Amino acid sequence: MAEQSITSKPQSLKSSYWKAISAIVWKDLVAELRSRESISAMLVFSLLVILIFNFALELDIGTRRTVTAGVLWSTFAFAGTLGLNRSMAVEKERDCLDGLLLSPVDRSAIYFGKAISNLTFMLIMEVIVLPIYSVLYNINLFNPGLLLVILLGSIGYTAVGTLLASMAVQTRTRDLMLPILLFPVVLPILIAAVKASSGFLSGANINDIFPWLRLLIAYDVIFIALAFMVFDYVVEE
């Protein structure tokens, strides 16, 4: 009986941990479905950017292919920042953040819940933007390698962005503070994502692309682990 109680305790803790994460994700998804604030802002900004580039860069198809990776990731980065800022600002304005911190769950569960919901919003925006970009620029973006790069880049971006948004939301100038904190930190992942995306679009050798993919994977693993360790201290300050 004692052994059964000992083994069942870690299982119950693990179950409650995942329930806390899923509850936070579900709360954010339901709130977004009702308000449509974050996804709408991200989509409008993204569409404006790609339309401006489409009319500003009247280039031939070959040249458009070379600038596609840069345009895409500039769009994703700035639109993602809008979503991150709004995600944490809503929690702060409605005093939901304090309620989450007072709840009897591990603080890292709050981080993972917010990170997964932010990643979901970013992926929804990207799924809508990619076909529109393909039509406007006459480029097929539904390349399995490119889609893998977008997924890895988005994971790293939201992993870091969620952590820094939790820090910036505590300041009065949170709208300005988040980009200042975020872009220097995510610069390596943006460079790796642009290089890998360009490689897949141009049909480069996989051996030339693989180092950039490894950098993306390493960045994701390192910063998710770092956020897991320091999130408790960030939200306490």
For 187-210, what is the mean pLDDT?
90
Q: For position 5, what pLDDT does the model report? A: 46
Q: For position 98, what pLDDT does the model report? A: 64
For 57-69, what is the mean pLDDT?
70
Tell me if 190 sits within 8 A of 153, measured CB to CB. yes
Q: For position 8, what pLDDT does the model report? A: 47
Q: For position 104, what pLDDT does the model report? A: 66
pTM of the model: 0.86
CA distances to 20, 29, 55 from 33, rounded to whole Å, are: 20, 6, 33
For 67-87, what is the mean pLDDT?
87
- The model's confidence at residue 213, banded by pLDDT at 50, 70 and 90, is very high
Q: Does the pLDDT value for residue 106 go beyond 70? A: yes
DSSP letters, 139-177, are -----HHHHHHHHHHHHHHHHHHHHHHHHHTTSTTHHHH
Q: Which of 129, 126, 96 is nearest to 114 (CA)?
A: 96
Q: For position 13, what pLDDT does the model report? A: 55
Q: For position 193, what pLDDT does the model report? A: 94
Average pLDDT, the chain: 82
